[in-house]
Amino acid sequence: MHVREAVHSDPVWRDRADFIIAASIDPGSTGITTEQLWARRLDDERLELCCIPFFAYDLALGDTVEVDAEHLVTRVVEASGRYVFRVHFERPEQPRDEVMDQLAGMDVLAEWSSDSLVALDARDEPHAQQVADVLQEREDRGHLVFETGRQR
């Protein structure tokens, strides 16, 4: 099987990162099987995530994770309490810059996977609710489509 990997070209905590690991993801319609994740090594098995996952679920910026011998994430040891949202701008006429300016004004961290897909980080639950409210309002107006980074 050919492995296709999603990569992070500009992780938000690049200055903290000193190692690259990966998370297995369901290839679904994308055909991508792993996501490269920038991390900071804490010890031989535990690392802190230094990027916002684009495709992997139930992982967030700042989480402490364990990896196996192939450097694949096996579990979250300690959740950071941060929240991930993924936003897709499906059509070029959607107000991408306007939305991103609004979110930047709310101190939301962002990482772009492509011109149309961005992963967002909210620092805690109250902040995540504010971000979710804005995203829902924007989705209702047809400006974007979004999801959370949690399945559980």
pLDDT at residue 2 is higher than 80: no
pLDDT at residue 32 is higher than 80: no
* pLDDT computed for residue 86 by the predictor: 97
Q: What is the mean pLDDT of the chain?
A: 92
Q: Say if residues 151 and 55 touch (Cβ distance below 8 Å).
A: no
Q: Say if residues 51 and 13 touch (Cβ distance below 8 Å).
A: yes
Mean pLDDT of 25-41: 83
b (16+ CB within 10 A) / e for 105-144 = eeebbbbebeebbbbbbbbeeebbeebeebbeebeeeebb
pLDDT at residue 28 is higher than 90: no
Residues 6+ apart with CB under 8 A from 65: 21, 39, 46, 47, 48, 49, 59, 73, 74, 75, 76, 77
Global pTM value: 0.92
What's the topology of domain 83-148?
Alpha-Beta Plaits (3.30.70)
pLDDT at residue 29 is higher than 70: no
| Span 37-93, pLDDT tens digits | 999 999 987 999 999 999 999 999 999 999 999 999 999 999 999 999 999 999 988
Residue intervals of the chain classified under CATH 3.30.70.600 are: 83-148
Confidence of residue 25 (pLDDT cuts 50, 70, 90): confident
Beta-strand runs (E) in the chain? 5-6, 19-24, 34-41, 46-49, 64-67, 73-78, 83-88, 109-112, 117-122, 145-148
Q: Is 125 helix (H, G, I), strand (E, B) or coil?
A: helix
Mean pLDDT of 22-31: 76
Phi, psi at residue 30, to the nearest 5°? -85, -25
Most confident of 21-30, 31-40, 43-52: 43-52
Q: Say if residues 48 and 38 touch (Cβ distance below 8 Å).
A: no
